[in-house]
Chain A
Amino acid sequence: QSVLTQPPAVSGAPGQRVTISCTGSSSNIGVGHGVHWYQHLPGTAPKLLIFANSNRPSGVPDRFSGSKSGTSASLAITGLQAEDEADYYCQSYDNNLSGWVFGGGTKLTVL
């Protein structure tokens, strides 16, 4: 049971927009800690996609965007491409655990 809750799976057709939610609590997202998103293809290194709620590292396409409100955050992907098919994880810091926590992961399928 992950501290941050994500939907197990989402899907969309090429060119469409999908969103992935990440729900936390008052000890992590709700207390003001930033939310970060990673893209992970099994067998490869996870890749930082969004940091501090809505910031993209250089090289990440602007098709990827993040937002945060209250105890939740969202990752939006527009103009879906086949190469976006991967697992996506949200992350934040948790005061109760004094450490980082991850969401359960969401598998994105591009139909």
Chain B
Amino acid sequence: QVQLVQSGAEVKKPGASVKVSCKASGYTFTSHSIQWVRQAPGQSLEWMGWINAGNGNTKYSQRFQDRVTFTMDTSASTAYMELSSLRSEDTAVFYCARDQWPHFDFWGQGTLVTVSS
């Protein structure tokens, strides 16, 4: 069965970076893009962008494009999301999801990132 398992919760100081991993199993990793979604406390879901797991191409939401980087390790079937210059407003749960254009069919369990001095 398809599973996306994300790394554990992180606590970071303002100005730092965080890197969240998303390990896929149950399907051919390179056949689907991985999407990233943020959910701040009490807020809705917010799309951050995607990485094409077949060729590494990326697309970032304008809101995040100057601070976020998506990478992957196909040998480990793992995608990564790195967010830099963290501020308190970045405190959120970050989700990865498998792209099944035009929707997202399987999601990771989420990674809570807390930004606090």
A98 to B45, CA, bound (A): 16
- Residue A45 lies at the interface, judged by CB distance under 8 Å to chain B: yes
Could you mark each residue 86-98 of chain B with 1 if its beta carbon is under 8 Å from any beta carbon of chain A, else 0? 0000000001010
A11 to B110, CA, bound (A): 27
- Residue B71 lies at the interface, judged by CB distance under 8 Å to chain A: no
- Identify the 4 closest CB pairs spanning chains A and B, nearest first: A36-B103, A45-B107, A100-B47, A102-B45
Cβ of B50 to closest chain A Cβ, rounded Å: 9
* Contacts A89-B45, A99-B49, A102-B45 given; does A48 touch B102 at CB 8 Å: no
Q: What interface size band does chain B fall in?
A: 20 to 34
User: Do A34 and B103 touch across chains, with their CB atoms under 8 A apart?
Assistant: yes
Residues of B within 8 A of A48 (CB): 103-107
User: Do A103 and B44 touch across chains, with their CB atoms under 8 A apart?
Assistant: yes
User: Do B59 and A99 touch across chains, with their CB atoms under 8 A apart?
Assistant: yes
Q: Which of A38, A47, A52 has the most CB of B within 10 A?
A: A38
User: Do A2 and B44 touch across chains, with their CB atoms under 8 A apart?
Assistant: yes
- Residue A79 lies at the interface, judged by CB distance under 8 Å to chain B: no
Cβ of B32 to closest chain A Cβ, rounded Å: 14
From the candidates A2, A91, A97, A99, name the one contacting B103 in the complex (CB within 8 A). Answer: A91
A43 to B104, CA, bound (A): 18
Residues of B within 8 A of A89 (CB): 44-45
